[in-house]
Amino acid sequence: MAELAQQQPGQGYTPIDEAKRQRLLELVRGRAMARPTDLAEDEVMVWPSLVVVEAVSATVFLLGLVALSVLVNAPLTARANPNQTPNPSKAPWYFLNLQELLLHMDAGLAGVIIPTLALTALAAIPYFDRSPLGVGILGGSAKGRKIIGFTVVYTIVVSIAFVLADEYIKVGGSTRRGFGFGQILQNQGYPEWVYSQVWPSFVIIAAIGGLVALVKRRFQPTRRELVIALFTGFVATYVMLTLFGTSFRGEAQALTWPWDLPLEHH
Amino acid sequence: MRREQTLADRITGSAVWRSVVRHGYPDTQRNQALIIASNVFLHIHPVKIKRYATKVTYTFCLGGLSFFMFLVLTMTGVLLMFYYVPSTDQAYQNMRDIESSVTFGQLMRNMHRWSAQGMVIAVFLHMSRVFFTGSYKPPREFNWVVGVLLLVVTFLLSFTGYLLPWDQLAFWAITVGTEIGGAAPLLGDRVAFLLRGDYQIGQSTLIRFYTLHVIFLPLVAAFLMAVHFWRIRKDGGISGPL
């Protein structure tokens, strides 16, 4: 600009005083002072606008529930018998993700420490990500939605890879421990806490770290977008492990196709 | 022109009716406001709400459906309680009777079972919706924490109910579940004993799970829901674009 002004003096351009010249340092995101529609001010009466939505959705849901309950009976198997253990024995489906973890590592780590840490981290989200940007927009932004897609793919690939590694990497042993590689550590004579606690913890931290590193490199995320990646990873892991537990674990918790499972676990 | 008094006018104009219902027909803004403000159940809502908060594709009604399922579970649960005795000798036979002899017993049980599964899913999806719309951000941080507690209570409600039919599925699922809890470092054995009330699953476990399921956990859930709903209003209604 300054050069341009100096090249063409006297043609409507005033020479710029170098001492007063301003440079563009940074673009800062902010809220525009004037907004096309002021959503915050646009109000409706709860009766009827909201009450109708509630009544209709409750009615539709109730009809669906009654229809389902007429058509499909809740399971009732034989009377409880402490002397007859079914194979496989499975927890309720929403805990099968923990039971799946249990196959790969120390029971205390899988069943108590990891869920406790996960719930604590979940509760701590709002104290970590406090910026008001993106509130009210699903996925936060277009970039946020791309990060969600990327994380889902990453989690599916990594969780399948870990489960398969544990199933098929068998080095002179048969127990599933520490995603396959734990077996190698066990054969080397390391104590149990190394191959069933430290090593699996390391693998999990590496998987989370890998996600964070990849998202940082690909997307240059804000803190909110990084939290989106972590939360999406949590939900996708929960779903994937639940799927493994419900649909792909047969007798003795061996990998099985869903259609080969015993009937009551369908 | 004066309208002739109909029967409906006589009823809604009577002293008895007016002592119960303190608003006229809600076709004016004044009566629409009164109907919300003067009804204890509707009073959970404000009189006016942001237009975007009524959009179904924003909330997908997930929080509301979770609450609605809680109500369905309470009602069907109370009906089932009339026929169910939490005794290892009787529980299974009670289940059979509910399914075969009790009028609408099978339907009540099915609705209870499927709502219980549905509530776990709905609460989880509701949490995801709240997260992905950034609705946990200030001033709603504490309500997010209350929500996480409600998720835990929902899991526990479903888990404690799972044992009650006293069939093989129930018995062994709870065996596996309490073994997971019993794997806690240092306190594991005590946690397992606390959950079972014994070294193995038996009568002590059944009465524990039953009491937790039908009174303790529902009260905790109701308490947390009261805080949860109240905080939504105190934090400025449901979130929306700034």
Domain boundaries, chain B: 76-234
Residue of B44, B84, B228, B242 to mutate, interface with A, max A Cβ within 10 Å:
B242
Q: How confident is the model at residue A264 (pLDDT cuts 50, 70, 90)?
A: low
pLDDT at A92 over 60: yes
Q: What is the dihedral of CA A82, A88, A92, A98, to 10 degrees?
A: 120
Partners of A43 in the β-ladder = B50
Q: Is A249 helix (H, G, I), strand (E, B) or coil?
A: strand
**Alpha-carbon gap, residue B158 to B216, rounded angstroms:** 13
Cβ within 8 Å of residue A133, ≥6 positions away: A29, A140, A222, A224, B134
Residue B83: predicted pLDDT: 97
Segment among A67-71, A228-232, B5-9, B32-36 with least mean pLDDT: B5-9
Distance from CA of A228 to the nearest CA of B (A): 7
Spell out which residues of chain A touch residue B120, defining contact as CB-CB under 8 Å.
94
Residue A82, in any domain of the structure: no
- Report percent pLDDT > 70 for chain B: 99
Cβ within 8 Å of residue B168, ≥6 positions away: A77, A78, A79, A80, A81, A84, A86
Length in residues, chain A: 266
Q: How confident is the model over B161-174, as pLDDT tens digits?
A: 999 999 999 999 99
Most confident of A91-105, A193-207, A231-245, B48-62: A231-245
pLDDT at A146 over 60: yes
Q: How confident is the model over B21-57, as pLDDT tens digits?
A: 989 889 999 999 999 999 999 999 999 998 888 888 8
Radius of gyration of chain A, Cα coordinates, nearest whole angstrom: 28
Spell out which residues of chain A touch residue B183, defining contact as CB-CB under 8 Å.
102, 106-108, 110-112
Peptide bond into B165 cis (omega under 30): no
Q: What ipTM does the predicted assembly reach? A: 0.91
The answer to whether the CB atoms of A111 and B162 lie below 8 A apart is no
The one-character DSSP state at A86 is -
pLDDT at B204 over 90: yes
> Which string of DSSP letters, residue by residue, matches A18-85?
GGG------------SS-SS-GGG-EEEHHHHHHHHHHHHHHHHHHHHHHHHHHSPPP--SBP-TT--
Q: How confident is the model over B60-75, as pLDDT tens digits?
A: 999 999 999 999 999 9
Mean pLDDT, residues B110-126: 97
For residues B74 and A255, the model is more confident at B74
State the average pLDDT for chain B. 93
For the four alpha carbons of A75, A77, A81 and A83, in that order, the dihedral sign comes to negative
Mean pLDDT, residues A146-165: 94
For residues B182 and A129, the model is more confident at A129
Most confident of A199-208, B113-122, B194-203: B113-122
Residue B148: predicted pLDDT: 98
**Alpha-carbon gap, residue A153 to A222, rounded angstroms:** 20
Residue A51, in any domain of the structure: no
Tokens of A140: 């936060």
Q: How confident is the model at residue B185 (pLDDT cuts 50, 70, 90)?
A: confident
Tell whether pTM > 0.90: no
The one-character DSSP state at B167 is B
The answer to whether the CB atoms of B240 and A126 lie below 8 A apart is no
Closest by CA position to B163, among listed B98, B130, B124, B212: B212
> B149 exposed, middle or buried (CB, 10 Å; 0-12, 13-18, 19+)?
middle
- Report percent pLDDT > 70 for chain A: 80
Domain, as residue range, for A238: 94-129+140-265
Closest by CA position to B134, among listed A134, A120, A144, A147: A134
For residues A107 and B74, the model is more confident at B74
Distance from CA of A217 to the nearest CA of B (A): 22
Least CB-CB distance to B50: which of A39, A81, A127? Answer: A39
**Contact status, residue B175 vs residue A89, Cβ threshold 8 Å:** yes
Residue B201: predicted pLDDT: 93
Residue A53: predicted pLDDT: 94
Q: How confident is the model at residue A173 (pLDDT cuts 50, 70, 90)?
A: low
* CATH architecture group of domain B76-234: Up-down Bundle (1.20)
> Which string of DSSP letters, residue by residue, matches B2-64?
PPPP-HHHHHHHSHHHHHH--S--TTSHHHHHHHHHT-TTGGGS-SEEEGGGG-HHHHTTHHH
Peptide bond into A48 cis (omega under 30): yes
pLDDT at A9 over 60: no
**Alpha-carbon gap, residue B27 to A55, rounded angstroms:** 18
Residue A1: predicted pLDDT: 46
| Interface contact B25, partner A, CB < 8 A | no
The number of folded domains in chain A is 1
**Alpha-carbon gap, residue B176 to B179, rounded angstroms:** 5
Residue A37: predicted pLDDT: 56
Residue B158: predicted pLDDT: 96
Q: How confident is the model over B73-110, as pLDDT tens digits?
A: 999 999 999 999 999 999 999 999 999 999 999 999 99
Residue of B21, B75, B132 to mutate, interface with A, max A Cβ within 10 Å:
B132
Q: How confident is the model at residue A140 (pLDDT cuts 50, 70, 90)?
A: confident
**Contact status, residue A85 vs residue B172, Cβ threshold 8 Å:** yes
**Contact status, residue B158 vs residue B116, Cβ threshold 8 Å:** yes
Peptide bond into B86 cis (omega under 30): no
Residue A42, in any domain of the structure: no
CA atoms within 13 A on the CB side of A131: 12
pLDDT at B225 over 50: yes
Residue A103: predicted pLDDT: 87
Residue A157, in any domain of the structure: yes
For residues A178 and B13, the model is more confident at B13
Distance of CA A209 to the CA centre of its chain: 14
